[in-house]
Structure 1
Amino acid sequence: MSVELKTREHIRGIRKAGRIVAACHKALSRRLAPGVTTLEIDRFVERFMLDRGAQPAQKGYKGYPYAICASVNDVVCHGFPDAEPLEAGDIVTIDMVADLNGWKADSAWSYSIGKTSASTGKLLKAAKDAMLEGIKKAVPGNHVGDIGHAVQTRAERHGFCVVPMFVGHGIGRSMHEYPDVDHMGPPGQGVVLEEGMVITVEPIVTTGRPDILIGRDGWTARTVDGGWAAQFEHTIAVTKDGPIVLTRWD
């Protein structure tokens, strides 16, 4: 399998989609509160994208029925939005992909609902720090294994586990492109990073064991032991000047 390298023009197209995703996450950070439902958030995100000329790329992907994934507490990813009100103390991860003029950008963010407890804050910091450490390694000449090693090392230093089943990926015209980007493993292995690659770094970090189960809907993944999970994800371009985050908003 070969890597599709993007031109500067291609990266500009992905960045434009990324700006919509970033603006949407920023808007969500002010809307998410106790009593809000993830189904309401799903409708908000879809309308937000459509009003800006973009499409929610997840909706209809392999039959997925919603514009977002909304993963609460022990759901690690791919949770279905529903009408259950969020409660103070919950963690919810909102994952979205915008398609603008055929170019896609992907970002997930974990939000604490209401006042953040010390334990929740520690988990959120660990997951975000792990993502940021992985992004630092996304430079030409490194391997995807260098990203995974940095992610895993940072998460475990905080005392948490990385869920190995779900990985980052290339992105561009398609939501998932080659190569996969593992979030753990030894450095110096895997595909060599090249200028023009656009990938996601999106580790899922959990308070308990990394083992997961897939629900009857065929999508919802949750921890076996009930441990809570957090995930942060950016779409980034690999350039000679270092990684460029195309979905930055915070």
Structure 2
Amino acid sequence: MDNEQIWWILDGFIGRVSPTDFMHRLLALARQYEASIIAVESILFQRLLIDNLENLRNEQEGLEHLQIYPITYPRKMTKAERIQALAPRFERGAIRLPRHLERHDAIAELTHEIQQFTFDMRMLQYDDALDALAMAQFIPPATAVGFIPAGSGEKWTIEQMLLAGMKYHPQTGLPLSEYIDPDKLDPSLLRELRSRYYDRLEALQRQRKDRKLENKINRLGSCITRKNFDIIKATQ
């Protein structure tokens, strides 16, 4: 990811290999692209992998800076929802695929899965590459807590985003509700958000009433116009 929050897909591997071979491949890619983080799903098998990967990293020179980061997902979030959350990034061109590697096995598979994606996961034959891409939304949490709005030199917190009326995180596309624990929010913030919600709701209700009234007037005007036209036509 660059300074403009653009994700650049540089390389990839899809295949069945032994855990040892897999770890060596990971570290080789990390060295090649000077990565600062390797992220691994935080489930039972991968937790064991993390320990072994850290040991292997410590045995190699030049990788002391490399962090092994366990990924955890938001509560009750399905794989389909994780992948669907990539949509805002794709829509604003914030995920870039390497055209010169379009025939590369892993890149070609990722491209195919993107093109074939449907929210009904039962319709997908494969989704491993796309799911791996979706994992990047959750690493590391320190960089996903806030973002720097245009014209500002400081990161906004989730609370500031909520007060600004934002619903989704601008970097991950995930709902801001996924980053907060309502029980731990400041009571004054909750009161302010609740007040703004009701103010907005009342404004929408007024707009809806005004729109209904406008529609009635338009329909009445249309009827009058047609009747007048019929009267004029009858007198000709």
Same fold by TM-score greater than 0.5: no
Q: Work out which structure has the larger RCO, using CA pairs closer than 8 Å and 6 or more positions apart in sequence.
A: 1
Question: Normalised by the size of structure 2, how large is the TM-score?
Answer: 0.25
Which of structures 1 and 2 has the bigger CA Rg?
2
Question: Normalised by the size of structure 1, how large is the TM-score?
Answer: 0.24
Report which of the two has the higher share of helix. Answer: 2
